[in-house]
Chain A
Amino acid sequence: MSLLREEIVEELVKICGQDAVVTDTEVLQESSYDRFRKYEGYHKVFTNPLPAAVVFVKDKKEVSEILRFANANGINVVPRTGHSATEGGLETIIENSIVLDGSQMKKIIHVDTYNMQVTCECGVVLEDLENHVRELGLTTGHSPQSKPIAQMGGLVATRSIGQFSTLYGGIEDMLAGVEAVFADGTITNIKAVPRRAAGPDIRHVVLGNEGALCFITEVTVKLYKYFPEYHVCMGYVLDDMITGIRIMHDVMTEGYKPSVARLYDAEDGKEHFSHFAPGKCVILFVTEGPERISKANAEGIKEIVAKYEECEQVDSKLIETWFANLNWDAARIEEERKEVLQTKNVCCTTEISASWSAVEDIYKICKERIINEIPDITVFGAHASHCYSNGINLYFVYWYNVVDCKPEEEIQKYHLPIKKIICEETIKAGGSMCHHHGVGKHRVHWIDKEHGSALYIVKKLKAAFDPNGIMNAGTILPYKK
């Protein structure tokens, strides 16, 4: 039998104390969605059922007790830290859910400068952590655009990736150890070691679980020496996106390791580079590390780009300045809110990955179909920002004017039809529909096609670790009543 809201709140107060349990209506409304429904949110329209409470936990023991209580009573729990998710993973689709918030767990527990790793609680803001280790001449190597607001637990839970990924990798390459609490309250600690072959790599049960299997309480990530004085920044303008993709292919398959390798098509670039590259594509690289390595990578990349006559090098200060202003902080989100409310012009994104042989067609087909099939598009572009030896990601960026529809209809009229085209075309071409934002609740529609026969593994994980289905229902896998 399901509990009443008051009964849930009463139990949460017993576990965490009055101050940690928030039931204010405005907070509950804000906690019922994430940036996927930002247009609705900006209009103060809330279509999801409200949670019973938001609970700010202090430690793993409280997390364990709350999960045990929720599991025993069939209460849905939505784990979160920085509240910066973009794919609906934080939406409370079941009434009287518990939003389990780890943002107050923000201790940096231990910086181990000899073994080059740092352990911190889940609510540490990545930028705070990075600033802390930078004072010691070190870096985590992780730098997603959400760095000023995203917190370590959420970054691991969504398999995040940062702008320097081509050198440092995604969070899965950085994560040495992790502590997580599962639905039945079991606290597990996966120890931080350089590598091991003790069965399957169980870090990957936690990585990318999006709160659908467990709640992350503590993470240990690797550290690297930081040499900003040896950074080499290079930027080029060119006419054709496909040429750019081929340059990226050459750089990666020849074995060079830039920390940043990004390519913007003319449409997406318009938002960033119109002051020096109007109507042009832009490709840029940063190399870093010890002086000789950084220089050698830069020279190799320059040699490859020089083979493509259409590339014209630009002043590196243009790129450095652009980079310095790339991240999203709270002030920028507020600015976006004002702009969206006035112009009804909304920007959304979908990021995918594919092999080198498939990516060019995905780019062309998605662009053609969306421009022709979706109304009121104001910008449709893409950039590639994460490269691998066997392929690349594409980050589709689209803006549309919301015309003749209520805030609550915007997703159905625009965002989901666009996402559908991108996800289906990508999967059809053999790529992945999610590169680094996770599945959330709005890409589950294609999760069976995404995984194919391997969906068996995901379903079994869910059944094993969350048999009562209390962990973030509707995330990663569709919600079935």
Chain B
Amino acid sequence: MKLLVCFKIVADLDQLTPKDYVVEEKINIDTSFVKTTINCFDESGLEFGLRLSDEAEGLNLHIEKSALTIGNSQTELYLKSLNALCYDHTIRIDSGDYDIRFKPDAVGKAIVDYAEKNQQDLIIMGRQSSEGNNFSTPQVVAEQLGTGFIPNVVDIHMMDEHRLKITTDNNGNIYEQTVKTPVVVSVGNAVISKLRVPTLRDRMKYGSKEIEQFPLRLEDKSLAGKVRSLEYVDKSRSGQVIEQKGSEAVHVLYEDYLKRRLDNI
């Protein structure tokens, strides 16, 4: 079985303060000074790739694992780490000067280009990323490849060379299904969220392993659409400190706050 996991490196937006949300001339927020991280849903996907490989070994099967990302040379640190975790292929598509973070058509097309040249049985993608948040890229990939698509995947297990047991979460309803490959899956709030860590020895052993480069071919239509404005979404909530203590505080909380809310129900 051939497996491709697509992942995105994103800025850790938790490190930004409200005052960092300054819109530049290019209609962009500067996130270059904060740490980067693997998008959380993609991180689950990468670990699923390794877990499926472990399960395949137990079934005397082999999974050829590939991990692909689109980004600049900063992403190579993560690809090297995936080399050390024994991904068979690590691929970087250099987006060059194009900012396609908010263009799922363009991102999807780049992945499809790779997958058409390198046929895959299973493509695992995170359902959304903190940048863009459009939920669209996995659908775009499945649609363009003409394969089946399963959204909101929370767990994946290997059954045999051509079948997977996939669990999905649809608004709190859990479904388990047997799926024949090829298929594209979009990982949601999965049962595993963290990627295992390679040992120092493996990092040294695989440190010089090649990271494959794949060209980005963009069509004009995939670059259509222009960001016109950005604004900070203020999620802060108002609060009030109760000055009384103990049972007196509970009384005030009930009389001045909870009771009013209950009356309004």
Q: How far is the CA of A344 from the CA of B198 in the complex (A)?
A: 11
Is there contact, CB below 8 Å, between A378 and B197?
Answer: yes
A321–B200 alpha-carbon span in the complex (Å): 28
Complex alpha-carbon distance, A343 and B51, angstroms = 12
Across the two chains, which residue of chain A brings its CB closest to B15?
A325
Tell me how many residues of B have a C-beta within 8 Å of chain A: 20
Partner of B35, one of A275, A338, A339, A376: A275
Does B194 interact with chain A (Cβ within 8 Å)? yes
A343 in contact with B196 given A275-B35, A315-B33, A318-B33 (CB within 8 Å): yes
Complex partner residue of A317 from B33, B194, B196, B200, CB under 8 angstroms: B33
Q: Chain A residue with minimal CB distance to B198?
A: A378
Q: Are A345 and B74 in contact (CB under 8 A)?
A: no
Interface assignment of B193: CB less than 8 Å from any CB of chain A: yes
Q: State in angstroms the CA–CA spacing of A324 and B34 once bound together.
A: 11
Instruction: Tell whether, in the assembled complex, residue A345 and residue B197 are in contact, meaning their CB atoms are under 8 Å apart.
Output: yes
Of the candidates A272, A321, A342, the one whose C-beta lies within 8 Å of that of B194 is: A342
The answer to whether B77 touches A324 (Cβ under 8 A) is no
Bound-state Cα–Cα, A379 to B201, Å: 10
A378 touches B33 (CB 8 A): no
Q: From A342, A371, A401, name the one whose CB has the most chain B CB atoms within 10 angstroms.
A: A342
Tell me the B152-202 residues at the A interface (CB within 8 Å): 192-201
Asked if A380 and B33 make an inter-chain contact with CB atoms under 8 angstroms apart, the answer reads no
CB of A278 closer than 8 Å to a CB of B: yes
Q: Indicate if the CB atoms of A278 and B77 lie closer than 8 Å.
A: yes
A280-333 at interface with B (beta carbon < 8 Å): 315, 317-318, 321-322, 324-325
Q: Could you say which of A275, A315, A324, A379 contacts B74, with CB atoms under 8 Å apart? A: A275
Tell me if B195 and A377 are in contact (CB < 8 A).
no
With A278-B77, A321-B15 given, is the CB distance from A371 to B36 under 8 Å? no
- A-B Cβ contacts below 8 A, count: 55
Q: Whose C-beta in chain B lies nearest to the C-beta of A370?
A: B200
Q: Judging by beta carbons under 8 Å apart, are A274 and B36 in contact?
A: yes
B200 near A380: Cβ-Cβ < 8 Å: yes
Which residues of B lie under 8 Å from residue A325 when comparing CB positions?
A: 14-15, 35
B192 touches A401 (CB 8 A): no
B17 at the interface (CB under 8 A from A): yes
Q: Are A343 and B199 in contact (CB under 8 A)?
A: no
CA–CA, A322 and B32, complex, Å: 12
A400 to B, closest residue via Cβ: B199
Interface, chain A (partner B; CB < 8 A): 270, 272, 274-276, 278, 315, 317-318, 321-322, 324-325, 338-339, 342-345, 371, 376-380, 399, 401
**8 extra A-B contacts, CB within 8 A, seeds A342-B193, A371-B200:** A275-B34, A275-B36, A317-B33, A322-B35, A338-B194, A343-B196, A377-B200, A378-B197
Q: For the complex of A and B, list the 10 residue pairs with the smallest distance between their C-beta atoms, beginning with the closest.
A: A342-B194, A345-B197, A378-B197, A317-B33, A318-B33, A377-B200, A275-B36, A343-B194, A321-B33, A278-B77
A-B contact pairs, 11 of them (CB 8 A): A274-B77, A275-B34, A275-B35, A339-B194, A342-B194, A343-B194, A343-B197, A377-B199, A377-B200, A378-B199, A401-B197
